[in-house]
């Protein structure tokens, strides 16, 4: 694919009206929508903002490359936009951004356009190209600059590939230090290849031989061989997503975010050359607390990521299974009772999905810690947390705790995931010095057998007895809450949903409520907590929609357009619709939404509202025990938050 097919002149903006980062994103996304590149502004923008939340795409040197790879993109495109005055885009170097490239890549796109996007990212590292683009004053000049630069870069890449092939048969040159590296970013479009390019460029300047494997949208390129890893003095992993790590066991390894390789490649290379990198032992979790602080962030940050890995895989089971079960109860009540074929089918389907919830949660927590060998022990540990004695289809009977009175439940599943993960980390350490002749036995025999045995023993004799007691206490506590305590708990959970609108506070509240619901889906108290978090999560988008509708002079045009979309997002319990507003004005938007959500949550507790479904917003109103109370709590909280925000905002001149 010719770069000119992607970098279309008719969608370029030669001087942006935007003066803030949020306005840049809104203006460019809307321009893509108007030209038919995307068919859903909100979906695409949500993924753009999600990528920005993982780390700014302001690359420095006046360049920003916001990008997304999702279903809203109808055809691949790169939109160029320029701001003559410059915009504070929270760039890596702290300087204003003048050149913007919004990359839109469709899901399932072929490798041709992904290669073109990779080449586009690489040429932006050439200072001559950047200078020429800043001086270009017409779309045609921009396109011509890129066409020449990409052609030149592709020729260089082809020559390098030929050199690498020739080097495979040539004698090894030990006169230069040799390093291997891996680069990867969540979308695998821009940062992956820019990090590769900077590492290679800096290594060449320093007289270092380097091979860089890229884990991008077009798959793994320049894959490192075992011989290359063995020969290398050390390894640099510059990645914001999971990459294959077990192959680096025993090597000195620097593990950093992908942006570090773009900003300071020399520092990463020097860490390897100067023997400052810690020796890697099969898993990033093998590092000490100090090493974790310096490589992958804080210990608590890693724990949060591991927990979120489990929760993200669990949510489809919770939402799908929970809503089908709730619908089955309506069918039971109004369409034929417990013997109705429709009730039996829906209830069984929901129960089957729901039964996998805790095992999947535990399995993927474990996998995030101990990689693939930890998946099976985590799954079994999570399964043992969900049952205490039960037969399944008459085929077998599982007894996971003698004299059990309750399952260990959701909390026991979380514990099982972390224990299984760190058990596998420990087993890898113990087996690290085994003879190479038994290397193949580790994943096929040693890890599965010992992992299963140890997690079963720990769950049977320690975790299940402890957490079944805790589970019973929590269930009794929730079921015997008085109205005043219910109001306070609902208020707190609903308010937390609006604090960061998808961040740790929001997730903590949702996990607490969904965990209680998972332990006992028929509990009215647990269904009340689900109602509280849904009300708390629906109010922020509704509040911003109300504020932009009734106080239009206080919001820019882009936010007024987003406010219209937030009516639908609020209806569907998609809190993230309020994130652009919170990013642009956190001091007013967040307090307003927290106040409204907290009031809505308090009304849920006061009016004894419960919704036996873990998601759905107003779509699941028929399932609520008090539908009018459910709607009323959202409406009142949204109006209060919207009016506070509207009055608080300053008039725009």
Give the active site residues.
67, 185
Is 207 strand, coil or helix? coil
Query: CB neighbours of 461 closer than 8 A, spacing ≥ 6?
Result: none
> Rounded CA gap, 457 and 438, in Å?
26
Angle at 274 between CA 273 and CA 279, to 5 degrees: 85
> Rounded CA gap, 406 and 465, in Å?
9
C-alpha to C-alpha distances, 321 to 41, 49, 355, 388, 407, nearest whole angstrom:
29, 29, 8, 21, 19
Contact assessment for residue 213 and residue 182, using Cβ atoms and an 8 Å cutoff:
yes
Contact assessment for residue 57 and residue 125, using Cβ atoms and an 8 Å cutoff:
no
End-to-end CA distance of the chain: 46
C-alpha to C-alpha distances, 279 to 3, 275, 514, nearest whole angstrom:
42, 10, 40
> Rounded CA gap, 569 and 382, in Å?
33
> Rounded CA gap, 518 and 322, in Å?
9
Question: CA-based Rg of the chain, rounded to a whole angstrom?
Answer: 27
Tokens of residue 528, six digits: 């009340």
Total Cβ atoms within 10 A of residue 228: 15
User: Which of 282, 428, 283, 423 lies closest to 362, judged by CA?
Assistant: 423
3-state helix, strand, coil in the chain (%, to 5): 65, 10, 25
Total Cβ atoms within 10 A of residue 244: 15
Question: Left, alpha or beta for 213 (phi > 0: left; psi -120 to 50: alpha)?
Answer: beta
Alpha helix positions (H), 170-212: 191-206
* Residues comprising the chain, all counted: 653
Is 356 strand, coil or helix? coil
Contact assessment for residue 496 and residue 541, using Cβ atoms and an 8 Å cutoff:
no
Query: CB neighbours of 399 closer than 8 A, spacing ≥ 6?
Result: 388, 389
Tokens of residue 32, six digits: 């893509």
Angle at 561 between CA 555 and CA 565, to 5 degrees: 125
User: Which of 142, 147, 67 lies closest to 109, judged by CA?
Assistant: 67
């Amino acid at each position: 694919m010719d770069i000119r097919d992607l970098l279309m002149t008719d969608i370029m903006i030669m001087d942006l009206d935007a003066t803030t980062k949020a306005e840049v994103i809104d203006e460019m996304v809307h321009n893509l929508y108007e030209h038919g590149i995307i068919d859903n502004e909100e979906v695409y923008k949500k993924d753009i903002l999600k990528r920005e939340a993982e780390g700014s795409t302001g690359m420095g040197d006046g360049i920003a490359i916001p990008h997304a790879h999702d279903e809203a993109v109808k055809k691949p495109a790169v939109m160029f936009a320029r701001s003559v005055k410059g915009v504070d885009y929270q760039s890596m170097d702290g300087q204003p951004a003048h050149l913007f490239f919004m990359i839109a890549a469709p899901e399932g796109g072929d490798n041709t356009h992904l290669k073109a996007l990779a080449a586009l990212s690489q040429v932006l590292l050439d200072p001559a190209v950047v200078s020429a683009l800043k001086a270009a004053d017409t779309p045609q000049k921009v396109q011509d600059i890129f066409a020449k630069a990409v052609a030149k870069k592709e020729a260089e890449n082809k020559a390098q590939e030929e050199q690498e092939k020739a080097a495979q048969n040539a004698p090894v040159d030990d006169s230069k230090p040799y390093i291997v590296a891996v680069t990867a970013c969540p979308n695998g479009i821009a940062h992956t290849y820019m990090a590769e390019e900077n590492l290679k460029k800096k290594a060449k300047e320093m007289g270092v031989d380097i091979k860089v494997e890229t884990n991008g949208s077009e798959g793994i390129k320049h894959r490192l061989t075992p011989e290359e890893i063995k020969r290398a003095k050390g390894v640099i992993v510059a990645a914001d997503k999971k990459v294959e790590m077990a192959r680096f066991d025993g090597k000195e390894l620097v593990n950093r975010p992908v942006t570090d390789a773009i900003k300071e490649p020399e520092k990463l290379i020097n860490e390897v050359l100067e023997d400052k990198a810690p020796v890697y032992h099969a898993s990033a979790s093998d590092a000490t607390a100090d090493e974790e602080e310096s490589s992958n962030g804080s210990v608590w940050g890693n724990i949060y990521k591991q927990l979120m890995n489990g929760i993200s895989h669990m949510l489809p089971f919770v939402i799908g299974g929970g809503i089908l079960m709730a619908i089955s109860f309506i069918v039971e009540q109004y369409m034929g009772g417990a013997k109705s074929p429709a009730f039996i089918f829906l209830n069984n389907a929901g129960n089957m999905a729901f039964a996998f919830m805790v095992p999947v949660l535990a399995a993927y927590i474990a996998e995030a810690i101990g990689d693939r060998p930890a998946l099976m022990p985590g799954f079994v540990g999570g399964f043992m947390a969900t049952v205490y004695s039960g037969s399944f289809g008459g085929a077998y009977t599982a007894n996971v705790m003698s004299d059990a009175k309750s399952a260990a439940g959701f909390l026991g599943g979380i514990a099982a995931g972390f224990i299984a993960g760190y058990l596998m980390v420990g087993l890898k350490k113990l087996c690290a010095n085994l003879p190479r002749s038994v290397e193949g036995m580790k994943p096929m025999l040693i890890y599965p057998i010992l992992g299963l045995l140890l997690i079963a023993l720990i769950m049977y004799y320690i975790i299940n007895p402890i957490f079944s007691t805790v589970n019973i206490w929590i269930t009794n506590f929730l079921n015997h809450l008085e109205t005043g305590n219910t109001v306070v708990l609902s208020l707190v959970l609903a308010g937390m949903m609006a604090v960061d609108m998808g961040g740790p506070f929001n997730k903590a509240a949702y996990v607490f409520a969904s965990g209680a619901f998972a332990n006992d889906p028929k509990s009215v108290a647990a269904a009340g907590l689900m109602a509280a978090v849904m009300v708390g999560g629906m109010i922020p988008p509704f509040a911003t929609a109300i504020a932009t509708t009734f106080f239009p002079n206080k919001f820019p045009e882009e936010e007024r357009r987003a406010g219209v979309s937030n009516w639908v997002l609020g209806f569907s319990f998609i809190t993230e619709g309020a994130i652009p507003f919170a990013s642009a004005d956190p001091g007013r938007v967040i307090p307003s939404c927290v106040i409204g959500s907290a009031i809505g949550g308090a009304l849920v507790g006061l009016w004894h509202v419960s919704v036996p479904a873990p998601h759905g917003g107003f779509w699941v109103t028929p399932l609520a025990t008090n539908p009018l109370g459910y709607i009323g709590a959202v409406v009142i909280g949204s109006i209060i938050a919207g009016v506070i925000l509207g009055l608080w905002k300053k008039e725009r001149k």
